[in-house]
């Protein structure tokens, strides 16, 4: 029997020797590429038994060209660059790694909340320009007693709620498929999107990106936010309508935004967000630590080994693919 072949379509790491060692130990071959467009991918991945993907566009054309692929694994939690419907129709498992950076992303979101609560961007800039403490920098209000709204209530949001419990804040959470009892057991109160917009001092996004959540935070949502509130996004850039957000930030309709993700990445050098003083911007790095990076790569390779060895995946994103497998 021919050796099963695994192809890594693209990656931003220095090498993939960790993955290679795991796969070779299991008896599988590995080819690593730096390809992202469908035109590049189709001739390269046709014979793959499994794909490991970072940012490559795995659209329906790529998926339909796969002749005997069993699974596609994403380096990360989000799978919006993979056509889930096409993969499901072909009986190809789509898997992610949902738990490799829960601690890091939750810390990053809380860091942004804390930075705005203590007005760190404004005070740091004022000091660097030769000033000293001056109440004119802006009001600093006590974090305790404030309301924090979480949109999405998966692993990361639950960790945010758990960590913020020590700060004596009120936590609202929106999740379309979580009931009130579950949310309350995790330290938050179930709320609608409108309630979160109207009552939150800080709103942190932790939703997956799909057709329903695209531009979930739009002009109407922002209109309902308090002028003193801050918006935090460490999930997916397209959850926010950036045009509406820019208008709100420029006009003072909301106090500020902390963004680690954007609709276009990398963020263009002339992007208007870079010119605003009431934002904190980081380059899609909320997930990163040396430990998280290793965990991500190891777990992606282990998922491939699990499935190609005849076992069910640990993190299956399209359970309906089971009924379509030949």
For the annotated catalytic residues, the residue numbers are 236, 265, 284
CA distances from 279 to 138, 224, 246 (A): 15, 20, 10
d(CA 260, CA 232): 8
d(CA 139, CA 137): 7
Under 8 Å between Cβ of 64 and 47: no
Instruction: Give the phi and the psi of residue 115 in degrees, each rounded to 5.
Output: -65, -40
- DSSP state, residue 3: P
Under 8 Å between Cβ of 52 and 306: no
The CA radius of gyration of the chain, in Å to the nearest whole number, is 22
Q: What is the DSSP string of 202-225?
A: EEEE-PPPSTTTTT-B-HHHHHTS
For tokens 């949310």, name the residue: 183
Q: What is the DSSP string of 22-83?
A: HHHHTT-EEEE----SHHHHHHHHTT-SEEEESS--B-HHHHHH-SS--EEEESSS--TTB-
Q: What is the DSSP string of 253-313?
A: SSSEEEES--SSSSPPTT-GGGG-SSEEE--S-TT--HHHHHHHHHHHHHHHHHHHTT---
Under 8 Å between Cβ of 49 and 26: no
d(CA 225, CA 218): 11
């Amino acid at each position: 029997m021919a050796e099963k072949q695994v192809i890594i379509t693209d990656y931003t790491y220095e090498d993939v020797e960790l993955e290679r060692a795991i796969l070779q130990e299991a008896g599988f071959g590995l080819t690593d590429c730096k390809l992202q467009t469908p035109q590049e991918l189709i001739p390269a991945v046709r014979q793959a038994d499994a794909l490991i993907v970072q940012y490559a566009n795995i659209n329906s054309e790529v998926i339909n060209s796969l002749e005997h692929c069993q699974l596609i694994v994403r380096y990360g939690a989000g799978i919006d660059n993979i056509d889930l419907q096409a993969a499901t129709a072909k009986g190809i498992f789509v898997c992610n790694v949902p738990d490799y950076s829960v601690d890091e992303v939750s810390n990053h979101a809380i860091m942004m909340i804390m930075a705005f609560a203590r007005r760190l961007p404004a005070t740091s800039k004022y000091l660097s320009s030769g000033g000293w403490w001056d109440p004119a920098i802006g009001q600093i209000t006590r974090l305790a007693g404030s309301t924090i709204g979480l949109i999405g209530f998966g692993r990361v949001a639950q960790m945010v709620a758990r960590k913020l419990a020590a700060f004596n804040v009120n936590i609202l959470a929106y999740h379309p498929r979580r009931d009130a009892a579950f949310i309350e057991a995790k330290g938050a109160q179930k709320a609608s999107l409108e309630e979160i917009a109207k009552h939150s001092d800080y709103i942190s996004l932790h939703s997956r990106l799909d057709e329903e959540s695209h531009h979930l935070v739009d002009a109407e949502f922002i209109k309902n936010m308090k002028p003193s509130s801050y918006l935090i996004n460490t999930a997916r850039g397209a959850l926010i309508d950036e045009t509406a957000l820019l208008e709100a930030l420029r006009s003072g309709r909301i106090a500020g935004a902390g963004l680690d993700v954007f609709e276009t990445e990398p963020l263009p050098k002339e992007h208007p967000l870079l010119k605003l003083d009431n934002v904190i911007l980081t380059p899609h790095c909320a997930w990163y630590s040396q430990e998280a990076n290793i965990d991500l790569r190891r777990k992606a390779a282990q998922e491939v080994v699990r499935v190609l060895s005849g076992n069910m995946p640990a993190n299956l994103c399209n359970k309906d693919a089971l009924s379509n497998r030949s």
